[in-house]
Chain A
Amino acid sequence: MLYIKCPYCGLRAQKEFSYGGDATVKRPNINEEVPSEDWDNFVYMRKSPRGKHIELWQHIAGCRQWIKVQRDTATHEIFQTAKVTEEIR
């Protein structure tokens, strides 16, 4: 079971979180014309990297904040966590 550092609550067990997918995907702006290829990429296309991956988790049984987690998909090592408004490099 992973040990995830919520930027608001501190280290908490994975049980308290729910996974939310790739955090680097950006939704096209609302009320703007979006080329259909861009839209399809946003809705359907996801990378499945082996190694570092920045992903979203929601602290669903805690503060309910969505957070960013940089995790190694092969080893589960977590390098960094951040608020969604912060950047992970």
Chain B
Amino acid sequence: MSQPFRLNKEGLINRNKKISFTFNGKKLFGYEGDTIASALIANGIHLVGRSFKYHRPRGFFGAGVEEPNAKLQVEFNGHSEPNVNATEMELVEGLSATSQNCWPSVNFDVGAINNFLKMFFPAGFYYKTFMWPKSFWYKIYEPFIRKAAGLGVASIEKDKERYEHKFEYCDLLVTGSGPSGLASAYAAAKNGAKVILAEDKPRFGGTLLTDDVSIDNLSGKDWAEKIITELKSMPNVTVKNRSQVFGYYDHNMLVMFERVSDHLEKKSKFTPRQRLWYIRAKETILSTGSIERPIVFGNNDTPGIFLSAAAKEYMKVYGVLVGKKPLIFTNNDSAYETALEFKKNNVEPIILDTREEHSSELIDEAKSKGIDIRFSHGVIVANGYKKVKSAKIGKLNKDKNSFEKIETIDCDCICVSGFWTPSVHLASQSGNKLKYEEKIDAFIPDKKKQHETSVGAANGSFTLEESLKHGFENGSNLSAKITETKTEISIPNVNEKKYGAHDKFWCMPLPKNENPKRFVDFQNDVSVSDIEIALREGYRSIEHVKRYTTLGMATDQGRTSNLNGLQLVSNIENKIVPEVGHTTFRPPFTPITIGTIVGREVGMEYMPTRKTPMHEWHEKNNAVFVDAGAWKRPRYYKQGSENLFEASKREAKNVRENVGICDVTTLGKIDIKGPDAAEFLNRVYTNAWMKLPVGKARYGLMLREDGIVMDDGTTTRISENHYHMTTTTAQAANVLSHLEYYLQIVWPELNVNVVSTTEQWAGAAIAGPKSRDMLSKLYPDLDVSNDALPFMGYKEAEFFGVPSRIFRISFSGELAYEINVKSDHGMFMWEKMMEVGKEFGNQPYGTEALSTLRIEMGHVAGPELDGRTIPSDVSLNGLVSKKKDFIGKNSLGREAFNVESRQKIVGLIPIDRKSSIPEGSHIVQDQNAKLPNPKLGHVSSSCWSVENNNPFSLAIMKDGKNMIGKKFFAVSPLKNKSIEVEVISSHYVDPEGKRVRS
């Protein structure tokens, strides 16, 4: 079980703790602190996946978020996750990783035939090929492409993990704990600011962990540790590792993704897997560093080819060699550090430097250590299919467009460096227009739109000294403005190697007659020739080139490919990069789990559940509930083997014959007080309210300003300046906002206050011919006769010792009352009613029976008041005052509202008196007419009339009143039904309204 590529000593891993895992079924081990990538490389495994389009063998390229290739299907801690970045995922005991996008295996992949057919898969292949015949798309092309596309497999199991959201506020958020981030956080913390320092990786320090530098005579790593320890001890500082700030939103809100427990073997039951932080920061320091970019050359995607800084990180952090015969291919000095690190570990590298022979501190050091350096050289093409075996290298001529000499040398890895690209994603997301910095051939932040400041490498400063200085200064100045305290900090002495100038060189030319693929974007398999095709075909805008070739559109967001792609476009177009511009950076910076976005808002916690005080009783008595907004309402109370239809029919019939009670707590209730309350109601409602006496209720209709009915309900005058308004369950919140709008903005001179009391009162309706008898038993001391408590009357009385309000109002069309008690007494009231009601045949009824009762009476509700009807459409024009002004009145005069053929509410009964009419059916003259069949109206509500024992529906129909007596068809293509119906009055039962007044 030896690890052939593990160094003996180097690295920050815990060699005392072995961790076993499997890769494609093979049992392997690594150490605590390894990533999947470092453990596999230690075991000499490089081939981990197949590319997206051509199924070419792919290995690791980076050591962190920049990784474009190594996306694995990973099973750990009981779940399976696709597209996990092997360079980021920490090793945990029992983890099992498998390659994606290959069949039957990563070693032998049938799809690799695409690589040999690559002339048939150029940019735009799909757009060009799958256009015809049109009918092939759904049945042949689309399913085939779907099967071939994508990488990993999403789990179909329910995610059992816990995810959390957290809201946080701070003075300064620092994103990244490299030298400039640490310095900023430290300076701000010393000024007393509330600081959050976020580090994406498990270890703090960024490049300090891998660079050969010293600060105040401490190694970079030790200095970072010292600062972190001090920051952690300060109460005003929150330090978070494994936490990536991935999005920069409006008004300095940043969103951070914390991997809380993915790296833990064991965790407590309530520890979330991941946490999403919404951070509102007064100031933000973007110390996100930079990412090395590659140089483009032939077959540059072969496994064994790495970014040079990644190779160094594998040695320094994980104690792992990416190869034992390395070629270092560079256009700048930073790769020399990688070469020196190899040398230190007794591995002999060869450096190919595209620059002409010259000297610098690092070059001199490499020379003095006897490292083979070849100037004006570069890799033309890598040889080897599943792993680099050798490289054809060439000596470049002066113009660097052809070769003076070509030879092949053996190697087992190629470490490439094409200089550094600042990570400007967050700055760009904040609205910062980037500018092109010629000195580093990359974009850096320009003018700010929000409170963000980029420091260090993210701002294009590639020296430690400058990064620290920027960090301390900005951290101190930005926080001092907030805390008004400034603590002087001396900037530490720095010892670092000086880099010479880099070469503005990014793509190797090809010798004549050679045409290997040169990849720009590894993850989406976009090569130099694809970009050339796009430009040849006329795509000019970089955004169009991006979409046509898919350059930079993979999950790595083109971190290693964007700038090379831009350089290529600018070269071909003979433009400079700033003219080409850059594509848009969008959150998230790296992929995050859906679970994290959703957080705790799943299942029962998706939204609050509102239950009435009588809910438990309903549950115990076999209520089947229905959602009414967030409310749970009993739809029907199931007896024996009854279904919905049978139960609701029984309940409704019992109300018509005896008495029933219904939980009406969910109705919106608004308390209205003030000397101008009557005047206010008079303006809000369409009917007259100035003369409503105390102790009386009135039905009212509310319009929107455009004349459409908004809501209806009763309002009762409790005392001189005190009213109790009810609204429908659905509109309660809207009506309250509506009233507040008029009181606060339009008529502030009215002295009125409104407040919601929906939750304060429990309500029960008692309906049916025997309801008065029942009421008199509930209130033995109260005169409840028709004279003492007439229709629309109101009384306050004690209900078995608790205060209550009695309203004589009716929704069912029967003699009915509504009793309100304080919510705490709701259950008491309900149980008393059930007990007392027994002798009258009382039964509870649910919303289904309630609907039946109101529909056959022709009472309108939500389905009729659907935001498209005016009062006269639903036969409520009697409630519209002609004498006074009210909200929406002026709109009622509109021409379209007053044409003779305007839609009207009608009743429908099926000719056969048997077939029930589906709600939503369209009313047509001729069911066999050619489509489009002219629609005359629609069915809004349907029920089984218990009074007449046949189906009955309400419908909104063009010229409805003149259609009475005529026959039509109600058709529902959805239910595949067509029913012949007769139009009748919408008031099917008790059209004179005698019962409610009886």
Contacts and interface: CB of A to CB of B under 8 A. Distances in A.
Contacts of A28: 890
B744 A65 contact: yes
Interface in A16-61: 18, 20, 27-28, 30-32, 34, 36, 39, 42-44, 56, 58, 60
A43 B741 contact: no
A18 B250 CA distance: 17
Nearest to A44: B706
Contacts of B253: 1, 3
A57 B741 CA distance: 10
Contacts of A76: 250-251
Contact of A58 (B250, B449, B740, B747): B740
Contacts of B891: 39, 43
Contacts of B582: none
Given A3-B280, A75-B431, A75-B449, A20 B250 contact: no
A82 interface: no
A2 interface: yes
B608 interface: no
Contact of A31 (B249, B744, B745, B885): B885
B280 A66 contact: no
Interface string B137-172: 000000000000000000000000000000100000
B748 interface: yes
A58 to B, nearest CB: 6
Nearest to A66: B744
B574 to A, nearest CB: 34
Given A58-B737, A85-B748, A78 B251 contact: yes
Interface residues of B, number: 26
Contacts of A85: 748
A88 interface: no
B912 interface: no
B104 interface: no
Chain A: interface size category: 20 to 34
Given A43-B706, A85-B748, A18 B737 contact: yes
A53 B885 CA distance: 31
A83 B740 CA distance: 14
A42 to B, nearest CB: 7
Interface string B696-725: 000000000110000000000000000000
Nearest to A65: B744
A56 B744 CA distance: 11
Contacts of B251: 1-3, 76, 78
A30 B885 contact: yes
Contacts of B167: 13
A59 to B, nearest CB: 10
A27 B746 contact: yes
Interface in B739-763: 740-741, 744-748
B252 interface: yes
B121 interface: no
Contacts of B748: 84-85
Interface in B240-263: 249-253
B705 A64 contact: no
Contact of B683 (A1, A18, A30): A30
A28 to B, nearest CB: 8
A36 B737 contact: no
Contacts of B706: 43-44
Interface string B844-883: 0000000000000000000000000000000000000000
Nearest to B889: A30
B449 A60 contact: no
A39 B890 contact: yes
B538 interface: no
B897 to A, nearest CB: 13
Contacts of A34: 890
Contacts of B280: 3, 13
A50 to B, nearest CB: 15
A39 B884 CA distance: 17
Contacts of A30: 683, 747, 885
Among A3, A43, A44, which residue has the most Cβ atoms of chain B within 10 A?
A43
B973 interface: no
A18 to B, nearest CB: 7
Nearest to B886: A30
Nearest to A31: B885
A60 B890 contact: no
A14 B253 CA distance: 11
B690 to A, nearest CB: 13
A75 B432 CA distance: 11
A2 B934 CA distance: 47
B548 interface: no
A36 B889 CA distance: 12
Contact of A2 (B250, B705, B747, B890): B250
- 5 nearest A-B pairs in the assembled complex, by CB-CB distance: A3-B251, A39-B890, A76-B250, A66-B744, A31-B885
Interface of A: 1-3, 13, 18, 20, 27-28, 30-32, 34, 36, 39, 42-44, 56, 58, 60, 64-66, 75-76, 78, 84-85
